[in-house]
Amino acid sequence: MRFSLAVIAALCVLVSSGRAEAGNDHTPTYVLVHGAFHGGWSWQKVAEKLRAGDAQVYTPTLTGLGERAHLARPDVGLSTHVQDIVSLIQMEDLHDVILVGHSYAGMVITGVAAAIPSRIKKLVYLDAVIPEPGQSFFGMIGFPAPPPEVTMLPSFPPEDFGLTEDDDIAYVGARLRPQPTATFEEPLVFSWSTLSKIPKAYIRCTGEWFSRETFKAFAAKARAWHWDYDEIDSGHDAMVTEVSDTVKAIRRAAR
């Protein structure tokens, strides 16, 4: 009887484990990282649609922005934002993460993948910068360094990100926040060799916005490196203005 009970218990464990593994195989885990001046709020509608498709979705807000704007300090840098996402993934015990970064967050997701490559299933750059080792965000886009006393950089208006609808402008404009200047000035220390085994994708927003020409170079780099590539006909904030198309593009990139 003892042997039978032990066998039954072992079989139950194996079956449960197999079901859990099967569930993990079919339930994607997304971590969506917002761009400069934005917050986790910018992914709200995209996250709802992804969750409706049985995905596990996290939309963290980086330190000093969104609902965490009260935590902004001059010493909050890029490494702080990288640690925000690393800590989320570790504390939630996430694996096989599809890590999506918008705009400035191309810096962040690259740093996260370099720190915990075994946790990342795929990197997806949504109209995002693709850094080189030792580069800062300002260095990549050729933005002139502000005076030392400027420790918080005000956001651009929502129209500059390609928003044209009154409702979108009102929604985004009420939530944009200044960002610590140090996050743009701190170089990212990493090696592409660390990320060599992680598949990567780039999604370009082809519509008009103030820095469209600068960001074309990152899309060209992704194509030259033979990453998976897709496009959305929208301004920079596609996750706000073109929700369905953004969800479809992210799902395609996650394959």
Q: Is residue 69 part of a domain?
A: yes
How, if at all, do strands 228-232 and 200-205 pair?
A: parallel
Q: Is residue 12 part of a domain?
A: no
Residue 34 phi/psi, 5-degree rounding, is -75, 165
Contact 233, 252 (CB under 8 A): no
**Alpha helices, DSSP H, located in the chain:** 2-26, 44-52, 78-91, 105-115, 137-141, 166-173, 182-185, 212-224, 238-241, 243-253
Contact 50, 31 (CB under 8 A): no
Structure-token pair, residue 203 = 């999604």
The C-alpha torsion from 65 through 159 and 243 to 137, rounded to 10°, is: -50
**pTM (2 decimals)?**
0.90
Q: Is residue 16 part of a domain?
A: no
Q: Is residue 55 part of a domain?
A: yes
| Predicted pLDDT of residue 207 | 96
* Domains identified in the chain, total number: 1
Q: Is residue 6 part of a domain?
A: no
Residue 244 is a catalytic residue: no
| Predicted pLDDT of residue 46 | 98
Residue among 42, 79, 103, 136 flagged as catalytic: 103
Q: Is residue 208 part of a domain?
A: yes
| Predicted pLDDT of residue 38 | 98
Report the CATH number at residue 223.
3.40.50.1820
Structural domain span for residue 80: 27-253
How, if at all, do strands 56-58 and 97-102 pair?
A: unpaired
Q: Is residue 154 part of a domain?
A: yes
Q: Is residue 161 part of a domain?
A: yes
Identity of the residue numbered 21? E
The segments of the chain whose pLDDT lies below 70 read: 1-25
